[in-house]
Amino acid sequence: MSVDLAGARVLVTGGAGFVGSWLCERLLDEGATVWAVDSFMTGSPDKVAHLVRRPGFTLVEADVSETIPDPGGVTHVMHLACPASPVHYLRLPLETLRVASNGTVNALELAERHGARLVLASTSEVYGDPLEHPQRESYWGNVNPIGPRSVYDEGKRFAEATTMAFHRERGVDVGIARIFNTYGPRMSVDDGRVVPTFLHQALQGKPLTVAGDGSQTRSLCWVEDTVDGLVRLACSNEVGPVNLGNDAETTMLELAETVVHLTGSRSSIEHVALPQDDPKVRRPDISHARRTLGWVPTMTAEEGLKRTVRWMEELLAG
């Protein structure tokens, strides 16, 4: 499918976050005017500092749970705002629920006012600890609704339900993306997700902390591949949900060993307690994205990890 965003006016909530910063950059490259809205609760102006001087880019500090500044003439709303790592959403449970509920309503109402297309960045966490493997979009999930992770899991499920209600009842043009584990430069080093955690530990010569026996799996997707899927969804008529993730699966023990090898570290591997409700497996079925968006991830895990290693080496050196 073709991607044409030249002249588009796009508001990105969570635009100073990890994925949001890469999305803003891609949108500018496509010729769009971009407003990045972020509370900096977990995002940072540093992630988009290289974009501030680019024509067509505006960074606005605002809590989308309260209000979203309306720049006028918006053609697309990309709703990415939400704490996305366990460290952050477990520290900010009520804020996570508010942005998933109030923030999503505010984003949808903005899109409705302008007749804009809204893309919701949902998550593979809506599948919980899945009993179906790999996970298809038709799978309803296995989520603990009162566990500590539920503020994120159920928050995103609520966001999806709200998005579909606005679509059905008010005719808002929407697309829902379920994003699987994404990695790459600009991740927060201390956000608790597995790739930056392992890399940071390895580069500092500390033991790599593998939860449980390390047999649990994840499917890691390079950030620019994820962003390409979001852009394609924004340019389509697809409602979704659509899985966006790499279907190459690895165990956490295998990933730890790969990181030690790629960094040349002498770090050992240390097993720690498995977090409550931690999914045992995670791998997307991406046939729907391939069919409707013409999307497949292209970055190999080895090359993506090498690029992320180089970025973190430079970050730590600086």
What would the pLDDT profile of 90-100 be if each residue is shown by its tens digit?
899 999 999 99
In the predicted model, what is the mean pLDDT of residues 152-173? Answer: 98
Could you tell me the end-to-end alpha-carbon distance of the chain, in angstroms, rounded to an integer? 41
Homologous superfamily in CATH for domain 9-183+221-246+282-298: NAD(P)-binding Rossmann-like Domain (3.40.50.720)
In the predicted model, what is the mean pLDDT of residues 297-310? Answer: 94
Taking 90 as the threshold, does the pLDDT of residue 86 lie above it?
A: no
Residue pLDDT, tens place only, 173-215 = 999 999 999 999 999 888 878 899 999 999 999 999 998 999 9
pTM value surpassing 0.85: yes
Cα 75 → chain centroid: 22
| Whether the Cβ atoms of residue 175 and residue 233 lie closer than 8 Å to each other | yes
Catalytic pick from 89, 127, 152, 183? 152
Cα 63 → chain centroid: 18
* Number of other CB atoms surrounding residue 48 within 10 Å: 25
Residue pLDDT, tens place only, 131-161 = 999 999 999 999 999 999 999 999 999 999 9
Parallel, antiparallel, or unpaired: how do β-strands 57-61 and 208-211 relate?
Answer: unpaired
Position of tokens 């972020």? 38
152 is catalytic: yes
Q: Helix or strand or coil: residue 247?
A: coil
The residues spanned by each domain of the chain are 9-183+221-246+282-298
Mean pLDDT of all residues belonging to the chain: 94
Q: Which of 16-25, 72-81, 155-164, 214-223 has the lowest mean pLDDT?
A: 214-223
Taking 90 as the threshold, does the pLDDT of residue 310 lie above it?
A: yes
Amino acid sitting at position 199: L
Can you name the residues that pair with 210 across neighbouring β-strands? Answer: 271
Residues in the chain: 318
